[in-house]
Structure 1
């Protein structure tokens, strides 16, 4: 039974079983396919069930790839891979020229760093560089991977394309079938990207050592000769292909060949070489921004020098000079206005980044940098400035328009960098020779996901760019007299991402450069999706990246999310909503945590460590929220001595990373009864909970709608703040310096838009738990709103009204009677109307009831044709009496429902595997997750005989007006569409016993990840059931990722 996602899925999509045509005389040759985002080793052996064909999905303008692995039990010769064109709809073709196959080079001496991925044989050889696809000999029992990539033209016709690749050898050929689906989605070219990629590249200037010596030494050329310019041209083309859109150009070094200095010290700056250099990248389509290396050098013993051009012994050259002197001030007074005038003339001023000093740390370095930026701002009033930082330097805030912290620095002071971002400063992340721990980096010995997901991490924290220092520093730091042997020397991958192709004056890409490209393309897709479906974009990212220390390491799983982004982009449906409720009876399977002592005990979620001040979160995994009401029962059980009763427990709403408390909104309760809202180091508001006693249970509830954050203690509104810094993010439980218990977590992403809204009424009794706000406090049991006690002696009219804040589609109103023991149902009106309005003036009556019997506990549901509704009004014209003969109108809760009426509703089924760890649960069929994810796959029946019937049914909670059912198949790589029934019916029922069929399908083809929609004449029903009578393949189970009812 294929319930658990296969570990070697074929590159994120449905894999059609295709067998290899292997001649008998080549039986020893084994060929299989692997994700391009998973490492292959020479000691990798073919896994059981490994895919044998390539299946890719891509946007237009995107590059997608797979690896073809070849192994032989005997030595093979003449091994190579060829690829042909791919044929698509209406005669459309992806030409062979858009397909590249390269052999991966096995580097023998890779230094293993940090949390490395060990080869199966434990050796030090790793594949990285991508070489020419020439005929090679293959030793017995050694695996050779080939990198197969398709660059989809931006104008390509969307649709399905098929073709083949052929593994050739002197012993015979093996055919690999290829299928590529091109989506009707287009990512922008490199020079119009939404994300900035700055890989520092060596050419001219910078350190004036390895930078200027690397290219001449590797290629046998001289600076600025024809061969050198040929190399630069190929680097520019490579930058364009790999979205390296921030070019690293030392403008001052490039001035040296064309600049003159007269006897009076007057400079005539010559821009010819600089212009040629930049224009080379412009013409290649690579230049979106120009980043000049830092002009100040931090030298040993805290010495700082300015790089400046000077005429020495008749030769114009670079010299080092003290900053802040008369000479250097005079020099910059000539240089900067000349630079400004030239950039203005070229139209490059707003694209040019100035950098003062790399990684300043000391006061002397900071002062020198501030001196340079002050001079620069005299001539560039709206500059772009950027430099890599290893320390928090508040004194440089006015000087830098971009904050670029090392990932370790960002993690250590999230609040500071988020405050800077929110104030308008761009945020980039960078890494280099560190970190060497669990955090992402692009070392050769790391799993490739660590390279691909770095742009994802940057995107998640609100960053817009990523910097790494070493694109092609091909010089040996241990011996500055020789260039590096980039293929066979000991290396980590820090100094270079590509290697010199000397014969072609070009560079060899690497599996890491291609994986980094995939990550940059992913971010372009995330930005496209976030424009229309921000919750879906954030939720998909949350399934891969918890924070910089905790992230998905399977390249295949990352491929799957890439496909899910594409599916979401072309899906016409609305953004995702993830209703959630947890009483912890099933443990903590939906929660992630990396600190604290979390456990489930006595049906409650317990964080028992009161010693830690900060960082103790348990995050609801893989989900995201925009407008949401979240609540939990909270009880502080202990506090540490440092902080005492000011320590706290509560909720995180809309945080960017699951473990963050410095992004999003911390809404918490102190053990002194104070509630507060905190955002990125700033306390936005505080209030007191009336009558709080230490150690008591408190129902803490937060409504985050747009930029308004409202906090409730039970039904009582205690605090409202306004802030729009974080519009969408995750949700977590959190403690600070306290141990605490949590229970009855409920998350309402506007599936009931009435919760927490403003209530008005003809009259209202406040006391004994009754109040107008209690009618929308999310509590369906107990008491809520009651009309006033001042007019109980005679029958009369009362009304209560809810303002939803804005008009939205509704098709049902649910009224919950009071349900407090023997009083249950008292106060529910006998004769009444339910009315709705879009504006509060013009009302439509959607329900009229007379002689309504005293109800029991539970929803009294009133469906109507869908309408845009802002106001709900219930008017009682004939009231009942209580046991004392008093006339009241009373309701525990008022709810509205519309759109997908199945969201968060209970599911029953003929059978269910109920695999908690693998995410196959009845409850997951209506949890809002349309894509099959490891924590929420959906519902699966038990396996069984081929002809048996399996079914799943949802209880909508009351009579509902419905006319459409959407079914979503599982969508996990090669299993996509698996388990979707072949023959099935959709049925409706008012009582869950007598069923009416509204749709029948036979011979239904295996679907993709999109909604399978079944429309029918509108009916009023409470239960909807999908019954499969013929299942697809052995072991014959029925599986659905999501069931929606509209």
Structure 2
């Protein structure tokens, strides 16, 4: 993975002007500097100007034992001297404090020669400075007084490390920007949540930034420490450098240390004339123990033992003086491997015996817990990036090495970085680590996911490429890329990340001179930290961190929190990931948005309650696809349907539901293939992706699709799981494709016809999308029910049932509501010539709390409403024995196509039965009882219901429909909730009303505020009432508030005497300001139950 020399950039004359000219004497008194706050995970440039609406407060959210950061930017029209930022204690609940000693403030260094990584066209991933120059801030260089040139922006990195065990609550204080011109205070608030990150050495995420010390290549990389600090290996000052490395690893959750066990044993190991080794591990032990003492050691990872070409094994051989030296043994022939195996037997045997005497925990080794010896934490690596002409040899020598290793380490850890699938090597590995780029992971995600599902660990890595729109830590890339790197791993359900260059500070020219890490040309690939060697008069053996290293730390912390959240709320976890990451090439580059998701994770972890559920439907009658995300294809809403019109757009053409995820779900869509690529013809397909890891993935989750020859198939990660034929299919026919998942069970239907049933635990939750494969298609009537309708897909029984022509028991709970697609509903069939009783019963499968039953009449044109009973009862039961009548109707008029709701006080129900005691006749005089669908409602009755308002701004995720879309986590561009128009004053009369579309017995309304990070609770009304109505005319106030303080993410819940109502309205008469001082009424969600 070693980086190749990057291109040399010839700077322009402008680029050579590295320092601004000193200003002349001020003619007038200087104005105060402009000071504002930015996310800690966005670029601030020297040419950045004060935003039109700047942030003025540092507002952070953190778990215990977590570090979070912001940037304080300073800009002045005149020169500033003595500039620094002072941090004070933060005071919280009960007088608790976060002391200033836990707060670090660093000036960011402006590197003048950044080699920007630029691609032409839409694949470009870099971020351009406002002035188009080559200067970027990165290194964090302390907080000594500084002279700032005029018209230059200087960011300071303000970082708070919340102690383990810190009392939860909000801590407030200030940071002070000081200069010779005076002081400017910046308010600070840190909200500490009641959850705690594990220490670095007990992490779930495995962070492996390769760093150089001794060995590795014994040449270029090994020159880094001596060249920068003027020390030689094993001198006491060299050990001080290693101590700095260890402390930084602990601070940044780099819990995998890169240690060349042979190089660290080389100095004292003996080899006698009889070929007997006496391995000495003193240097190795001190090295590893240094990291353990610092709290950084969780795993040990050795550099690759076989050279890149795959033909030579690094070994310790006789130096002719009783000691050893590094050399190579040939392993590209059977004879060479046989000779080398003798050496490996000795060295691996001695290494295993020694590592068994060491424990990752303090205390006597005999008491070491299982799995906690150094031998349990040791990674072996054979070759690096096997590929090209060397691949045939590497495919032999790499598995051979692991065979030798496991002879001594039966449960030993193994890992390699790969740029392409190599099945011969991958099968020998315990951990596969593909490069996160197009040619490798993107094109082979199914292959690597299959290995993960087979039990292998999955890591991802990048290095000096990819250089297109993928995440990378190049300095010219958005800072958020570094934070999102562990999110990409989480999305892929991996558990580790690898990068080749943490501290490659020497040049790769023949003499390997020390590199100028501050002012030399650089792109950020070779190092994440920089040496702080001090001066000859005052030498130091320390490090400068970087903005990128802090962002990578934030991402590693996010991973730990996501991992914890996934254990209790897997659907919400997937939705939060999907709101930032659409695919490996489409993702948010906003540090602010990552801050918002981080706070939302903390809120979800500490708020309790059930997992998220996102009921969703779209018949595309609104005329747009604003709730969908796609990266390929030609998608449009046309003639009331959703069309992908390009039959040549390949097989990864997905449009996914935005910002939502699903576990157990009933997902259905009407799909019609309208054109196919001549290559493949009618074997090409269209359908659904279910439980994909990223919204627009095809190779992850389940691909459930219809070929234009009538075959329906289920693929998982490129492997066919099942196929079936749609009876009577003709090319171009519309098919209602329905997928029902319950735990690991997956069922596929065409209309009401069951096609496929299988059990597969591979992908229990994820995203859902529409997909085409070398086909054009039209989609309509998308419905995703995550159990909101407890009757969806439920088993039904009846007194009699006509099972033909689209009628059948299965159709009464198939979610189709009588759509004219071959799924008409249920019809009785007995005793057609006389009025009589019929019944149909639905088993919800488990006891559910419901408060309404909706009966859908048949809706087929002139026959609409026929078969709906005249006299009937609706009954519910928990045990199918004792029944309670919740509705009893006589002389019920023939209904239209709309649902007929029957509300009652919420109760625990498993069975629902509708009994018709007087029936209606059809045009032929026959008596039938007919229902298109039976649905139940419980929980949030407002979800996906229509909304009206006094005014509305429909932009960037703000819209009326978002107030009842079931999404409680505000996400810009996805679902923010609803906002009124701006009011000139706090006094206003703004309102929002929800139409429940039927009368319901309700007793609770919850108002959820916007929940976008530090803006949570802004726009929530100060004075307001909650009103209910049966007819949208006469209103009853059920709750009122005066002087409402700004709420947290949980919002406000109002419980009142049960009332029968169809409409719920919130009327605000006094508004609160948003973060810019403007007045709006803003609600993230309204729920009714």
Which TM bucket (shorter chain)? over 0.9
Query: Is the alpha carbon distance of 1:620 and 1:788 closer, same or farther for their aligned partners in structure 2, counting shifts above 3 Å?
Result: closer
The answer on whether the counterparts of 2:838 and 2:916 sit within 8 Å (CA) in structure 1 is yes
1:307 to 297, 302, 314: 314
**Secondary structure of the corresponding residue to residue 67 of structure 1:** strand
- Aligned partner of 1:382 in structure 2 is 411
Q: 2:857 aligns with which of 811, 814, 817?
A: 817
Do the aligned partners of residues 116 and 818 (structure 1) sit closer, same or farther apart at CA in structure 2, a change above 3 Å counting?
closer
Say if 2:213 is the partner of 1:203.
yes
Match of 2:634 among 574, 590, 597: 597
Work out whether residues 836 and 869 of structure 1, in 8 Å CA contact, stay in contact via their aligned partners in 2: yes
Inter-partner Cα distance in structure 2 for 1:848 and 1:604? 39
- Greater CA drift, 874-883 or 571-580: 874-883
Q: Tell me the CA shift for residue 375 of structure 1.
A: 0.9
Q: CA deviation at 1:212?
A: 2.8
Higher RCO (CA 8 Å, separation ≥ 6 residues) = 1
For the Cα contact (< 8 Å) 2:618–2:780, is it kept in 1? yes
Partner of 1:413: 444
Alignment of 1:76-225 (within 5 A): 76-114=80-118, 115-225=125-235
- Structure-2 separation of matches of 1:1005 and 1:479: 67
Residue in 2 aligned with 1:16?
A: none
Deviation, 1:134, is 0.7
Alpha-carbon contact 2:827-2:931 (below 8 Å) kept: no
* Pairing 1:441–2:472 present: yes
Sort the Cα spacing of 1:90 and 1:294 in 2 relative to 1 into closer, same or farther, 3 A.
same
The answer to whether the aligner puts 1:472 opposite 2:503 as a matched pair is: yes
CA distance in 1, matches of 2:72, 2:984: 37
- Does 2:968 match 1:937? no
Cα deviation for residue 844 of structure 1 reads 4.2
Q: Which one of the candidate residues 415, 427, 447 is aligned to 1:398? A: 427
**Distance in 1 of aligned mates of 2:744 and 2:825:** 28
> What are the Cα deviations for residues 149-200 of structure 1, in whole angstroms up to 9, with x where unaligned?
1000011111111111111112222222211111112111111111111000
Matched, 1:352 2:378: yes
CA apart distance, 1:290: 1.2
Gaps of 5+ in 2: 1-27, 119-124, 359-372, 534-538
The answer to whether the Cα contact below 8 Å between 1:786 and 1:888 also exists between their aligned partners in 2 is no
TM-score (normalised: structure 2): 0.91
Paired residue for 2:350? 338
Match of 2:393 among 350, 364, 368: 364
SS in 2 for 1:949: strand
Query: Separation in 2 of the partners of 1:691 and 1:326?
Result: 64
Q: 1:245 Cα shift?
A: 0.8
SS in 2 for 1:865: strand
2:3 corresponds to: none
Contact 2:107–2:143 under 8 Å retained in 1 = yes
CA contact (8 A) 1:161 1:179 kept: yes
Q: Which residue does 1:748 correspond to in 2?
A: 785
Corresponding position of 1:761: 798
- Alignment size in residue pairs: 1018
Q: Which is worse superposed, 398-407 or 576-585?
A: 576-585
Q: 1:608 to 1:480 in 2, by over 3 A?
A: farther
Partner of 1:17: none
Q: Report how far residue 497 of structure 1 moved.
A: 0.3
Deviates more, 1:137-146 or 1:792-801: 792-801
- Larger displacement relative to structure 2 (836-845 or 557-566): 836-845
1:651-708 CA distances to partner (integer Å, 9 max, x unpaired)?
Answer: 1111111221111111111111111111101111111112211112222222222212
How do 1:849-928 and structure 2 match up within 5 A?
A: 849-913=889-953, 915=954, 917-928=955-966
User: Structure 1: how far apart are the matches of 2:880 and 2:377?
Assistant: 51
Unaligned runs of 5+ in 1: 1-23
Bigger Cα displacement from structure 2, 1031-1040 vs 515-524: 1031-1040
State yes or no: 1:31 paired with 2:35. Answer: yes
Say which is worse superposed, 1025-1034 or 549-558, in terms of deviation.
1025-1034
**1:573-722 correspondence runs (5 A):** 573-584=609-620, 585-722=622-759
Q: Does the 8 A contact of 2:903 with 2:1001 survive in 1?
A: yes
Structure 1's 67 and 762: CA in aligned 2 closer, same or farther, altered over 3 A?
Answer: same
Deviations, residues 588-612 of structure 1 (Å, cap 9, x unaligned): 2222222112222222222121123
The question of whether the paired residues in 2 share the 8 Å contact of 1:458 and 1:464 is answered with yes
Matched with 1:3 is: none
Q: How far is 1:406 from its partner?
A: 0.5
* Residues 1:771 and 1:141: Cα distance change in structure 2 (over 3 Å): same
Contact 2:30 2:78 in 1 (8 A): no
Contact 1:25 1:172 in 2 (8 A): no
1:8 alignment partner in structure 2: none
Find the residue that maps to 2:307 and give its secondary structure.
Answer: strand
Matching of residue 950 in structure 1 with residue 1008 in structure 2: no
- Secondary structure, counterpart of 1:387 in structure 2: strand
Cα distance in 2 between the residues matched to 1:871 and 1:1010:
33
CA deviation after TM superposition for structure 1 residue 105, in Å: 1.1
TM-score by length of 1: 0.94
- Single out whichever of 287-296 and 871-880 deviates more from structure 2: 871-880
Cα distance in structure 2, aligned partners of 1:594 and 1:886: 53
Q: Distance in 2 between matches of 1:842 and 1:195?
A: 52
Q: 1:828 Cα deviation (Å)? A: 2.7
* 8 Å Cα contact 2:843/2:912 also seen in 1: yes
| SS of equivalent to 1:693 | coil
Checking the alignment, whether the CA contact within 8 Å between 2:828 and 2:838 is kept in structure 1 is no
